[in-house]
């Protein structure tokens, strides 16, 4: 099982920048940042991309939205940003939420200005020294700041925009594939910035190294609904793998033994006290296991809790096997 888990080994870049302090929003904002209630998203009323979704985002969460191409991730983020109306239900921002939104076009800036001038126009109060200092943290070092924006590569433009967005100190960042076209050093710099960022982050990415670095929660948008997974990418991918395996095994079992149930010990013919006691114990154990199964369904997306339930179940299972064996011995 372990070997089958997806390995996440991050490539190392020497020339990236690691943020050591925290990047704090100008104002912390409310406890509940975004709330979706019975929300359906899409473009045509009679063809929603999703069923009803009810979700909420708490201050400080860092949520990665993942899912297959065309699932509706960009549509979801645009609806969250208020750029697209909901097809049904609501998607509401809390009071005093100051969002920054980055979509795939945000990085397409074109200007005769130098990198330094472009940055300073956004932050006129900054001294040249401070502006250079900020830009250096996003890998525009030395002569880089004199380059004209129009001559930057796609990845460099996106990096400049991201530096400007983060320096605005929003308390919510909605980002659609922010690392597209970026090289490894730029990606790792951004990873570090998002790790240092203490605001709320809702971002779409296909890059599992990037997601794994700082996402605390995974929302998988697939087949018209979101699975809310409370954990990082590694745990998510292990959980997904297990889910797939369990489904496969169940299908296989159904094929092999269509209606056969787990064999249960038959009622003993004699009325020996020891056997009766054993049977009561077996029944109690079976009930406990059934309760744990129900609990596991309830916590289907909570990795930590599932592991605890699983461990408890395994213990009960092995105890139950012993009870069965003893019962068979007594009835032999
Ligand atoms: N402006 C639009 N009008 C109508 N349909 C659209 C529009 N934009 C996207 N769609 C459709 O909505 C669906 C979801 O698109 P969306 O861009 O949200 O997917 P995505 O999950 O972001 O995909 P990707 O991973 O490729 O970025 C797709 O079938 C797409 O063709
Ligand atoms: Mg998209």
pLDDT for the residue numbered 332: 64
Domain locations along the chain: 32-231, 265-331
Q: Angle of helix 115-122 relative to helix 128-137, nearest 10 degrees?
A: 110
Question: Looking at the CA of 67, which ligand is closest?
Answer: 1
pLDDT for the residue numbered 185: 94
Question: Looking at the CA of 78, which ligand is closest?
Answer: 1
Residue whose CA lies nearest to ligand 1 atom number 8:
75
Q: Supply φ then ψ for residue 65, to 5 degrees.
A: -95, 120
C-alpha closest to that of 72 among 279, 221, 228: 221
pLDDT for the residue numbered 241: 86
User: Token pair for residue 205?
Assistant: 């990415």
Q: Are 49 and 205 in contact (CB under 8 A)?
A: no
**Residue ranges in the chain whose pLDDT is less than 50:** 1-5
pLDDT for the residue numbered 260: 56
pLDDT for the residue numbered 250: 81
Report how far residue 161's alpha carbon sits from residue 212's, in angstroms, rounded to the nearest whole number. Answer: 23
Q: Which CATH class is domain 32-231?
A: alpha beta
Site to substitute for ligand 1 among 41, 65, 66, 74, most atoms within 8 A of C-beta = 74
Q: Is 89 helix (H, G, I), strand (E, B) or coil?
A: strand
Any idea how long the chain is? 332
Q: Are 155 and 183 in contact (CB under 8 A)?
A: yes
pLDDT for the residue numbered 162: 97
Report how far residue 58's alpha carbon sits from residue 9's, in angstroms, rounded to the nearest whole number. Answer: 29
Q: Percentage helix, strand, coil, to 5, in the chain?
A: 45, 15, 40
Report how far residue 196's alpha carbon sits from residue 18's, in angstroms, rounded to the nearest whole number. Answer: 9
Distance 208 CA to ligand 1 centre (A): 21
pLDDT tens per residue across span 143-168: 999 999 999 999 999 999 999 999 99
Residue/partner pairs of 29-32 with CB below 8 Å, 24 or more apart: 29/59, 29/94, 29/96, 29/97, 29/98, 29/171, 29/172, 29/199, 29/200, 30/59, 30/94, 30/95, 30/96, 30/97, 31/58, 31/59, 31/94, 32/56, 32/57, 32/58, 32/59, 32/94
pLDDT for the residue numbered 4: 44
Instruction: Indicate which atom in ligand 1 lies nearest the CA of residue 221.
Output: 21
- Region of 67 (left: φ > 0; alpha: ψ -120 to 50; beta: rest) is left
User: Token pair for residue 303?
Assistant: 């990795």
Question: Looking at the CA of 71, which ligand is closest?
Answer: 1
Q: Angle of helix 115-122 relative to helix 154-167, nearest 10 degrees?
A: 30
Residues at Cβ < 5 Å from ligand 2 ion: 73-74
Site to substitute for ligand 1 among 40, 67, 70, 208, most atoms within 8 A of C-beta = 70
User: Token pair for residue 63?
Assistant: 């949520």
pLDDT for the residue numbered 2: 40
Taken in order 123, 128, 133, 136, is the CA torsion positive or negative? positive
Q: Is 315 helix (H, G, I), strand (E, B) or coil?
A: helix
Record the pTM: 0.76
C-alpha closest to that of 176 among 164, 161, 188, 189: 161
pLDDT for the residue numbered 1: 39
């Amino acid at each position: 099982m372990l070997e089958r888990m997806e390995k996440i080994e991050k490539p190392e870049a020497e020339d990236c920048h690691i943020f050591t302090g925290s990047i704090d929003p100008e104002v912390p904002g409310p406890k509940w940042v975004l709330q979706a209630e019975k929300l359906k998203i899409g473009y045509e009323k009679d063809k929603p991309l999703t069923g009803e979704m009810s979700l909420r985002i708490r201050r400080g969460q860092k949520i990665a939205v993942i899912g297959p191409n065309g699932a509706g991730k960009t549509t979801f983020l645009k609806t969250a940003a208020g750029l697209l109306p909901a097809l049904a239900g609501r998607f509401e921002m809390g009071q005093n939420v100051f969002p920054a939104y980055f979509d795939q076009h945000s990085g397409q800036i074109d200007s005769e200005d130098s990198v330094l001038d472009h940055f300073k126009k956004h932050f006129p109060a900054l001294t040249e020294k401070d502006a250079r200092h900020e830009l250096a943290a996003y890998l525009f070092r030395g002569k880089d700041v004199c380059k004209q924006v129009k001559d930057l590569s796609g990845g460099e433009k996106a990096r400049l925009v991201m530096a400007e967005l983060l320096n605005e100190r929003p308390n919510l960042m909605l980002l659609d594939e922010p690392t597209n076209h970026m090289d490894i050093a730029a990606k790792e710099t951004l990873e570090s910035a998002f790790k240092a960022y203490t605001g709320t982050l809702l971002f779409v990415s296909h890059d599992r190294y990037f997601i794994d670095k700082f996402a605390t929660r995974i929302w998988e948008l697939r087949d018209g609904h979101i699975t809310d997974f409370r954990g990082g990418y590694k745990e998510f991918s292990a959980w997904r793998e297990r889910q797939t395996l369990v489904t496969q095994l169940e299908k296989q079992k159904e094929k092999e033994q269509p209606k056969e149930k787990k064999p249960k010990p038959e009622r003993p013919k004699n009325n020996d006290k020891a056997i009766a006691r054993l049977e009561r114990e077996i029944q109690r154990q079976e009930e406990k296991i059934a309760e744990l199964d129900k609990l596991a369904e309830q916590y289907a997306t909570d990795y930590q809790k599932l592991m605890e339930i699983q461990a408890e179940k395994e213990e009960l299972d092995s105890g139950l096997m012993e009870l069965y064996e003893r019962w068979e011995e007594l009835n032999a």
